[in-house]
Structure 1
């Protein structure tokens, strides 16, 4: 029987100029990604995305401005299967949200959580996202760059 997918939310956080937040994964060379994280049992995805934003980026000064119509999935590569998340999942099933950042740069606090997800961050264009993603998540970032383009103009 195949392993299940882990339920997850992701945040495409748009800054005032239409670029999006990406964080460099702590301890992993050249690994940039959008904020994302697991959904707790019984948790509403809209609540989960705000919680994850606060945990990973150190701020919840944002508002949800859009939601991807479908859940998207990715499978772990063979070398991570059976290792990531205690070997319980084959990958993730994700609900992605577009958010508008309402704060200022100093509101972003990567050190707010005792176990930081990111060690650095920057703003990038949507078009840059797919090239920054690890190979097994690239198709997700391509979908987001295409489907969330409307929010870059908001």
Structure 2
């Protein structure tokens, strides 16, 4: 079996989307039986700029069009997390040990009716708005430190 430490991180983006009340969008993944929620995220395609990836992934996962978001900030540098050892080989065809994520903070300017998680390739079964402080408590345990780091990076922009 491959040593996880020998595997690279998957290049990825993460999106923190705030509504007018300062709450954050979270979705419940379709491919998990856990009662865990997450912010939109996704892999960077070869040659794709991270900001372009963020806008593309937001549309693919939430149905939100670019005209309904405004970029507030980009976190400095990448954030990393590793998947639990029992998941190595089961996700991403065993090619990665975790993700290196570039995070973007957007303001949502549309209405809740503009959010359509029933996309061509749905990833979420449900969605909701939560207070930023509650993010670490709703995410899977192996991503909690990452979410705390993202919150710290964007703290100057959060109410």
Tell me the TM-score normalised to structure 2 length.
0.92
Is residue 2:79 matched to residue 1:75?
A: no
Q: Distance in 2 between matches of 1:62 and 1:118?
A: 19
Unaligned runs of 5+ in 2: none
- What is the CA distance between 1:146 and its match in structure 2? 2.1
Is residue 2:9 matched to residue 1:5?
A: yes
73, 82, 86: which one aligns with 1:66: 73
- What is the CA distance between 1:27 and its match in structure 2? 4.1
Unaligned runs of 5+ in 1: none
RMSD: 1.2
Q: Return 59-68 or 97-106, whichever deviates more.
A: 59-68
Q: Distance in 1 between matches of 2:156 and 2:132?
A: 10
Q: Is the 8 A contact 1:40 1:48 kept in 2?
A: yes
135, 138, 142: which one aligns with 2:144: 138
Is residue 2:113 matched to residue 1:106?
A: yes
Equivalenced residues, count: 152
Tell me the TM-score normalised to structure 1 length.
0.94
Partner of 2:38: 33
Q: Return 136-145 or 32-41, whichever deviates more.
A: 136-145
Partner of 2:130: 124
- What is the CA distance between 1:37 and its match in structure 2? 0.2
- What is the CA distance between 1:152 and its match in structure 2? 2.3
Secondary structure of 2:12's partner?
Answer: strand
